Amino acid sequence: MVLKVPKKTKVAQAGPDFAKSKELLLKINIASINPETGSATKSTEFNAFFEQFIQQVLAPTSQKDVLYVKKMTKKVFCHKDMFLNLLEKVQVLAGKQLSKVQLSNYFQFLKNLTLPSKLEKSLVKDEFKVVGDLSKENLELLFQASWMILIKKQLSRPLAREVLPFITDHRLDEFLNPELWGDFYFAYYNQGGVYSVLALNGLLKLVVKYNFEYPDFYVSVYKLTSSFILYAKYAEEYISVLNIFLSSTHVPLYIIAAFVKKLARVCLLAPVSALRPILTILQNLLTRFSGLRKMIHNDTCDSIENDPYIEDCYDLKKCKALESCLWEIKPLQSHWLPLICKKAGFIDRNIGTHETPYQWKPNDELFQILLNKKTGTKAVDDDDYTLKNVNKFEKQKFVPVKRKMLIEEEGNAKKLMKLSPPSDGLFNEMLNYCISDLYVL
């Protein structure tokens, strides 16, 4: 049975037409002349056009309304005069209470707004000079104020998780006064959990790029660094931010030493997926800061009993990290995962001059690497390089010579098994070979 949609319903869902709206806008008289004084102001029709559009932004009635708003924002309000008048009308939302749905719609609208630096020339002729101030500074101030309206509202948790990274990555550099966003980041950083990680990225950008003063910033990040946060689903984002945070050569050595020691201690309880990235960061920090290398060769400290480091001391000068050593990395050389053992071996080698980019691999991928290594197949690890085979048009990997011998040996054994059952000696020899290869680093 086919359902027929009534014509009225179709009309209700048709939504506004972009071409007709633009044509209507161009026909509107933007100025209204007072016959008594002769002064010109914006016409009622011109103001009503923008007010009606804002209502469609906040409460679209159909999917066509959403597409209409997006198209108008990209094609019409990309002009300086339209951009200016729209954002002037948007400012009335500062004193209104908006629902969760309206805030979400408003955020989508702001995301689609053309940046002030990329605006096109005016769309309509302003003979009576009623449009307003089209200077770059005024447009940037209105753009910033429109975003401020959003962040001063009570955002839902899902919306906050979307707004925080978007502002940091795509809008913070476009604002005229980025330092004004410090309170916004502070509020979410103090909430803890995923909000601390997302806000930390923005705070870090303000501190490093815009010389934003945040009292006890390093101490706050130091407190946040724990094994608990590495078990959260946003652990990868946190490690990435921490890596950027510690990459600055302007940070005092005692602060870097405190973080190095704290990360080494955290490794003892960290999940497998976080170990390799953290060990890579530690190796890079020892490469970058030569003053930290004495923490490797301190023979007076080899266990937690004689370690002078005070973990619960949040005065980074007095936690005695530089007087300590990195004994925590040594036990990781006996880790059950060979990849971790290999990575932890850097502590026994000479520290090089080149840094190593870290890779985050989830637990399921690490487990697959372990299974492939155990069965003798070619796995993806640090020694592999991707190559395109011209004949077979498929990707192949180079593997170490010993593992290549194992694969060939296994192939030859399979051929022998087809001809005759393997003897006990051959089977035991292959088994011992596989086991010995599994534990070779």
Using 50 as the pLDDT threshold, list the residues of the chain that sit under it. Answer: 1-15, 379-380, 382-409, 412-441
What is the residue whose two structure tokens read 């009308």? Answer: 89
| DSSP state letters, 152-191 | TS---HHHHHHHHHHIIIIIGGGSS-GGGGHHHHHHHHTT
User: What pLDDT does residue 392 have?
Assistant: 37
Amino acid at 196: S
And the tokens for 394? 């498929």
> What 8-state DSSP symbol labels residue 291?
G
User: What pLDDT does residue 383 have?
Assistant: 41
User: What pLDDT does residue 197 have?
Assistant: 86
What is d(CA 329, CA 331) in angstroms, rounded to the nearest whole number? 6
Say if pTM beats, i.e. exceeds, 0.75: no
Query: Are the C-beta atoms of 238 and 274 separated by less than 8 Å?
Result: no
User: What pLDDT does residue 220 have?
Assistant: 86
- Other CB atoms within 10 Å distance of the CB of residue 112: 15
User: What pLDDT does residue 137 have?
Assistant: 94
User: What pLDDT does residue 298 have?
Assistant: 81
Helices (H), 167-252: 182-189, 194-210, 217-224, 227-230, 235-245
- Other CB atoms within 10 Å distance of the CB of residue 110: 20
Supply angle C-alpha 198, 202, 208, rounded to 5. 140
Coil, helix or strand for 100? Answer: helix
Closest CA to 184 of 132, 149, 208, 225: 149
User: What pLDDT does residue 145 have?
Assistant: 96
User: What pLDDT does residue 250 have?
Assistant: 80
